[in-house]
Amino acid sequence: MMAIMRLSYFLLVIFVLSFTDVKAQQTQGNYVITRQGDTIKCEFSGKFWGRIKYRRDKQDSYHKIDTATIKEYYSQKDEATYRALILPNTGKPAFVKLIEDGKINLYELLIISNRSSTKYWYACKDNKPAVEVDNTKLFHSNQNFKQNISNLLADNSNAVQEYKQQMSYNFKTIKYLVHYYNSER
């Protein structure tokens, strides 16, 4: 009985929050970069579980941040840059969090559904299509991911050697190797 009450309370809170606007005050930090390359300093607004919107100032109306018009944005609240990236498993663009920026870019995508969440990590090099390098799914094979990261590091013998010395394959290792590769250049 107590568990049902807690679940009901939790669902009520989620329901109420879904109709609450989440606003960030205008700061120097928030910006969007349009497909034309214009950088616009702005403030963000978004519904909990909804799409994020931006506006230049209080006199401006809000505009959706979507991959058709925006290629990148920075959220001071998250202290993170998000880029539009064509995902290899869908072929469609989505905003993903930039983890490492360099010759090899490393990205993270968090998918929340029902009561679970899954993180996906993608990497790309030289403006080539992104490849998946790891995820937090319970059952998955690292073999394809290992091959993808190996291919990305292949033109740097020091990074390949560093990769071969790693004892485990996980996100921490991937982030280290991509950073190592980018620092070597």
* Predicted pLDDT of residue 17: 43
Q: How confident is the model at residue 1 (pLDDT cuts 50, 70, 90)?
A: low
Q: Is the pLDDT of residue 23 over 60?
A: no
> What does the pLDDT average to over 17-38?
67
**Which pairs count as long-range contacts for 102-105, CB under 8 Å and 24+ apart, including other chains?**
102/178, 102/179, 102/181, 102/182, 102/185, 103/181, 103/182, 103/185, 104/152, 104/153, 104/178, 104/181, 104/182
For residue 49, name the pLDDT band (cuts at 50, 70, 90): low
Banded model confidence at residue 164, pLDDT cuts 50, 70, 90: very high
Does the pLDDT of residue 26 top 50, yes or no?
no
Given pLDDT bands bounded at 50, 70 and 90, which one contains residue 114?
confident
Single pTM value for the model: 0.79
pLDDT at 184: 82
Helix residue spans in 26-156 (DSSP H): 142-153
The whole-chain average pLDDT of the chain stands at 84
CA distance 36 to 117: 34
Q: How far apart are CA 142 and CA 115, in angstroms?
A: 25
More confident residue, 131 or 167: 131
